[in-house]
Structure 1
Amino acid sequence: MTQQQPIGSGFGASTTANEVIHGIDLRGKVAIVTGGSSGIGLPTTRALRSAGARVIVPARNYEKAAAALQGIDGVEIEEMDLSDPTSIDAFAERFLATGQPLHILVNSAGIGDTMTLRRDARGYELCFATNHLGHFQLTMRLYPALRQAKGARVVAVSAWAHSRSPIVFEDIHFEHRDYRPGLAYGQSKTANILFAKALDERGMADGLRAFSLHPGSIVDTGLSKHLSPEILRSLGLIDENGTPIIDPARNMKTAEQGAATSVWCATSPQLDGMGGVYCQNCDIAPLVPAEVETNQMGSFARGVAQHAIDKQSAGRLWKVSEQLLGWQE
């Protein structure tokens, strides 16, 4: 099992997706990128396609995705809504019907802080349902194709915000506690990390490896649309004129820099034989000491919290996810 510690990849915070993909040949490989038409998903799609992969982008809004992906030859768009279980199953069934292996699955889509409590049709809190549960369902429905690849990688895009909250198993959906946007989003990002850890352990025998990552703080991704300019300024993400502040040394990146770690996790030979780890800046992230306060954003922007890589929590989340999807009584 890989230790949660940097390997000295030679890349860094300012590395772009194009730099990571340089020299990598993905001809004959198939990749699916959720959220692949916006935010960091767009340069992720562009990089994988530039290396020769067949790239499929499932999107809730086909027309919007087609407009964003215009000019990237060979990208296929399929309709899918991560908050709709029926839509996820339909997409997976269409792909499996082709009989093709799936070599790369990048779970990049997601919603950010919602300032008011929102639920899906099942009554599940929307951040958790979309960011984690939708991707859990998609990945497991596609598992036969991932197994067929005999060396697939699954990449879960998480965030430093995982430090805000562990999984509150007693009240995941905020039915008995006050709703706080930061806690809801943070819990969903912790779930991304724990899912990758559990998936890697279960998939290793089938040649599947899974990774999670922090892409950096990137304002222009759509995730910040629910945050006011005042909040974005207070976080140091935009200046007085509303312009995003780019400072990779402080994990404040462009979308191309943010996508680099996703592409590195999905394709780098440096990670051969490894898996189940949380990455950032195109390297494995260090483990943040337990004594560090969880509200110290700067510390967690440089590592992963203990609660997000806890093996027992990862196993428990897996079982809870199956129960919430009705796969296990």
Structure 2
Amino acid sequence: MSTAQQPLPSGIGAAATAEEVIKGVDLTGKVAIVTGGYSGIGLETARVLRSAGAEVVVPARDLERAQAALKDVPGAQAEYLDLLDPASIDTFAEKFLASGRPLHILVNSAGIMATPLARDARGYERQFATNHVGHFQLVRRLWPALVAAGGARVVVLSSRGIRFAGVDFDDLHFEHRPYEPFVAYGQSKTANALFAVELDRRGRAEGVRAFAVHPGIIIDTGLVKHLDPELIRASGTVDEDGNPIIAPERQWKTVQQGAATGVWCATSPQLAGLGGVFCENCDVSPLVTPETEAAWYEGEQTPGVLPRAVDPEAAARLWEVSERLITA
């Protein structure tokens, strides 16, 4: 498979923070939207983009919580949006488009992980609906503003969770197979990566570039709230008191380090002319090969992306399926 999955190399490294990678970047006059921008790495992303001068809008299902979280991010705006509610996505996008603002940066950071089986009002499995379908609809509705920017970047938060599953086009919503939380999560994260591939292909002629990101393993966020504490302890990512162990060389990161790759993809001049790639540790990930596959599955310190997560044919198929899902 022909691929652009080749490290630059960027020279930055796994331990960098978002604040460090944005140093020297002036975003004055730029507009950014950060979903999930009121908690975890989304909040840090919003804070750092705002500190560089960007106008930052944070879509939020819980406006009161978002406004409280953003009190230390002066000027950031919270607007209502629920990724499981198609009507609210359309309303948010219509309001933004009516403002006449271009959209230079869109960071799709909101997500859920390994939740019990639940479905949205359309019957779509909740992890796939939240992590992929809602964001797909948001990008499609905001497309005119992205094009109007004359050079926009869309950053899609994926995960090393792509290892748990590819996209099952025959049973996206677990209607015919047993539901497994991590399989559903893996499917949604693979969908995130594929979305960036096809989005970039379709958008590059109009100046819209897209990147998928593995932020690292960040225990200190709400993303792990559905996980058994014993499972977390068994993973070795926390100490005997339950505190996260920070080892960026193993992808075990702080929130500030976890936000770095997404911010790098959204703003770095090193990525000029590039797109449609999966990134981690502030660099383009290498492609996992048969020679590196065993080491990749065995330990987080081996960087890489599985071919199925950047396959252009699967990406094109997912796009067509997703178009049907948001018009059903």
Does the TM-score normalized on the shorter chain lie above 0.5? Answer: yes
Q: Which residue in 1 is equivalent to 2:24?
A: 23
Does 1:244 pair with 2:244? yes
Cα deviation, residue 52, structure 1: 0.3
Q: Which residue in 2 is equivalent to 1:223?
A: 223
Q: Deviations over 1:221-255 (max 9, x none)?
A: 21100011100011122122111111101000000
| Unaligned stretches of 5+ residues in structure 1 | none
Q: Which amino acid aligns with 1:117?
A: L
**Whole-Å Cα distance in 2 between the matches of residues 180 and 28 of structure 1?**
45
Secondary structure of the 2:50 match is helix
**Whole-Å Cα distance in 1 between the matches of residues 159 and 111 of structure 2?**
11
**Whole-Å Cα distance in 2 between the matches of residues 148 and 297 of structure 1?**
44
Q: Which residue in 1 is equivalent to 2:104?
A: 103
Q: Which residue in 2 is equivalent to 1:317?
A: 318
**CA contact 2:296–2:303 (8 Å) conserved in 1:** no
Q: Which residue in 2 is equivalent to 1:201?
A: 201
**Whole-Å Cα distance in 1 between the matches of residues 171 and 289 of structure 2?**
26
Change (3 A) 1:89 1:294: farther
| Unaligned stretches of 5+ residues in structure 2 | none
Q: Which amino acid aligns with 2:152?
A: A
Secondary structure of the 2:59 match is strand
Secondary structure of the 2:78 match is strand
Secondary structure of the 1:182 match is helix
Cα deviation, residue 273, structure 1: 0.3
Change (3 A) 1:170 1:300: farther
**Whole-Å Cα distance in 2 between the matches of residues 294 and 321 of structure 1?**
33
Return the TM-score normalized by structure 2.
0.97
Q: Which residue in 2 is equivalent to 1:172?
A: 172
**CA contact 1:62–1:79 (8 Å) conserved in 2:** yes
Cα deviation, residue 290, structure 1: 4.0
Q: Which amino acid aligns with 1:193?
A: A
Q: Which amino acid aligns with 1:86?
A: A
Cα deviation, residue 69, structure 1: 1.0
Q: Which amino acid aligns with 2:65?
A: K
Q: Which residue in 2 is equivalent to 1:117?
A: 117
> Which shows bigger deviation, 34-43 or 298-307?
298-307
Return the TM-score normalized by structure 1.
0.96
Secondary structure of the 1:212 match is strand
Q: Which amino acid aligns with 1:163?
A: R
**CA contact 1:288–1:300 (8 Å) conserved in 2:** no
Q: Deviations over 1:295-323 (max 9, x none)?
A: 82526861100100111100000011011
Q: Which residue in 1 is equivalent to 2:14?
A: 13
> Which shows bigger deviation, 301-310 or 287-296?
287-296
Q: Which residue in 1 is equivalent to 2:133?
A: 133
Q: Deviations over 1:252-276 (max 9, x none)?
A: 0000000000000000000000000
Cα deviation, residue 286, structure 1: 0.6
Cα deviation, residue 51, structure 1: 0.6
- Calculate percent identity across the aligned residue pairs: 61
Secondary structure of the 1:325 match is helix
Q: Which amino acid aligns with 2:91?
A: A
Change (3 A) 1:74 1:122: same
Q: Which residue in 1 is equivalent to 2:83?
A: 82
**CA contact 1:158–1:189 (8 Å) conserved in 2:** yes
Q: Which amino acid aligns with 2:71?
A: Q
- RMSD of the alignment, in Å? 1.5
**CA contact 1:163–1:294 (8 Å) conserved in 2:** no
Q: Which residue in 1 is equivalent to 2:46?
A: 45
**CA contact 2:296–2:304 (8 Å) conserved in 1:** no
**Whole-Å Cα distance in 2 between the matches of residues 279 and 185 of structure 1?**
19
Q: Which amino acid aligns with 1:63?
A: E
Change (3 A) 1:63 1:294: farther
**Whole-Å Cα distance in 2 between the matches of residues 193 and 2 of structure 1?**
14
**Whole-Å Cα distance in 2 between the matches of residues 295 and 316 of structure 1?**
26
**Whole-Å Cα distance in 1 between the matches of residues 322 and 261 of structure 2?**
26
Q: Which residue in 2 is equivalent to 1:262?
A: 262
Q: Which amino acid aligns with 1:296?
A: Y
Q: Which amino acid aligns with 1:315?
A: A
Change (3 A) 1:300 1:310: farther
**Whole-Å Cα distance in 1 between the matches of residues 188 and 237 of structure 2?**
22
**CA contact 2:35–2:110 (8 Å) conserved in 1:** yes
